[in-house]
Amino acid sequence: MTRPRILCLGEAMVELAPVGDGLYRRGFAGDTFNTAWHMAQILGPRADVGFVTRVGQDSLSLAFIEECRAGGLDVGAISQSAERGMGLYMIALDGVERSFHYWRGQSAARCLADEPARLARDLAGAGLVHLTGISVAILTPDARDTLRKALCAAKARGALLSFDPNLRPALWQSLDDMRAVLPDFLALADILLPGFDDEAHAWGDADPQASLARLGQFGASEIVVKNAGGAVHMAHKGQGRVVQLPPVSGIRDTTGAGDAFNAGYLAARALGHGPERAIDWGHRMAGHVLRSAGARVQPDALGADRAGWPD
């Protein structure tokens, strides 16, 4: 793709990240938003990166849209609701590991696929569309069907689909419901970016190779199984390989590391680099997030990488 158009689809939320002494920093985050943000920082003018979501009309929602715009994201596919606003989550840290408290019942993003015609317009012209299992989980059954049809239409127009299952059982009615719905989206994907811990918990996979074999049945041309700092197991056009990664030092917070990996990987692939080089980019981007607080790295924190990356 020459100057690819990349769209990430899903929910952004208000983030409260701990900064010490019972204080929190307000930001914005969400799995696909984190990926879109970091892709925009990596790619700059080399690509058009947009975010497909729905927010409110309140001051927080307006601040979110402005932050997206200032960060280089295309905001044309961010619609607004007069009745709903943005969800909120708070990060709780145990050392560097994190857990979350959510308030998202009235999130406007739950309605992002309620208007089929608008969704079709939002996806028009995309060369790559990225979404996750969370993007699907927050929708009603009818909206999921609308989304699936819109993605099929985008693929028929030539778009590639990237999907990170990002399994969050608490967002589903049950594990059985999750297991019944997700295969329809796994089968659409050209690129799968699962995390092994999630796959093991939801499907009982014994190791990353088991995840790779099971997900390979859905037909994606490339699968990259992230492994929380361990070796990445991948398959590209039926050829499997294991990629060892160097350890990351100075870890402060694991929030959003997988989303950042997705950003680096997809950015590299969008510019024509091979999967192994893309894994290196994903690892580097995840490292930036692991060494910072919260789910996103601000542009000035990328240092030399922002000026010299990608090459």
Q: How far is CA 95 from CA 212, 230, 254, in A?
A: 31, 19, 10
Decide if 116 contacts 124 (C-beta within 8 A). Answer: no
Euclidean distance between CA atoms 104 and 61, whole angstroms: 14
Query: What's residue 305's pLDDT?
Result: 60
Per the domain annotation, does 276 fall within a domain?
A: yes
Per the domain annotation, does 308 fall within a domain?
A: no
- Which of 161, 174, 167 shows the shortest CA–CA distance to 205? 167
Euclidean distance between CA atoms 37 and 78, whole angstroms: 14
Would the pLDDT of 5 be above 70?
yes
Q: How many CA atoms lie within 13 A of 162 on its CB side?
A: 24
Euclidean distance between CA atoms 157 and 150, whole angstroms: 11
| Model pLDDT for residues 205-253, shown as the tens digit of each residue | 999 999 999 999 999 999 999 998 789 999 999 899 999 999 888 888 7
Euclidean distance between CA atoms 68 and 78, whole angstroms: 10
Q: Which residues contact 207 (CB under 8 A, 6 or more apart)?
A: 196
Query: What's residue 178's pLDDT?
Result: 96
| Model pLDDT for residues 32-51, shown as the tens digit of each residue | 999 999 999 999 999 999 99
Alpha-carbon dihedral angle through residues 87, 8, 262, 88, given to the nearest 10 degrees = 0
Q: What is the CATH number of the domain that holds 206?
A: 3.40.1190.20
Query: What's residue 306's pLDDT?
Result: 55
Per the domain annotation, does 127 fall within a domain?
A: yes
Per the domain annotation, does 307 fall within a domain?
A: no
Would the pLDDT of 93 be above 60?
yes
Decide if 73 contacts 40 (C-beta within 8 A). Answer: yes
Per the domain annotation, does 135 fall within a domain?
A: yes
Would the pLDDT of 158 be above 60?
yes
Decide if 222 contacts 248 (C-beta within 8 A). Answer: no
Per the domain annotation, does 194 fall within a domain?
A: yes
Would the pLDDT of 25 be above 70?
yes
Decide if 260 contacts 301 (C-beta within 8 A). Answer: no
Q: What is the pTM of this model?
A: 0.94
Euclidean distance between CA atoms 70 and 72, whole angstroms: 5
Would the pLDDT of 307 be above 50?
no
Count structural domains, the chain: 1
Query: What's residue 1's pLDDT?
Result: 47
- Which of 83, 3, 102 shows the shortest CA–CA distance to 45? 3
* Residues annotated as part of the active site: 259
Decide if 186 contacts 161 (C-beta within 8 A). Answer: no
What type of residue sits at position 269?
Answer: R
Per the domain annotation, does 309 fall within a domain?
A: no
Domain of 79 in residue numbering reads as: 5-300
Per the domain annotation, does 310 fall within a domain?
A: no
Give the mean model confidence (pLDDT) for residues 139-146: 98
Min mean pLDDT across 210-214, 282-286, 294-298 is at: 294-298
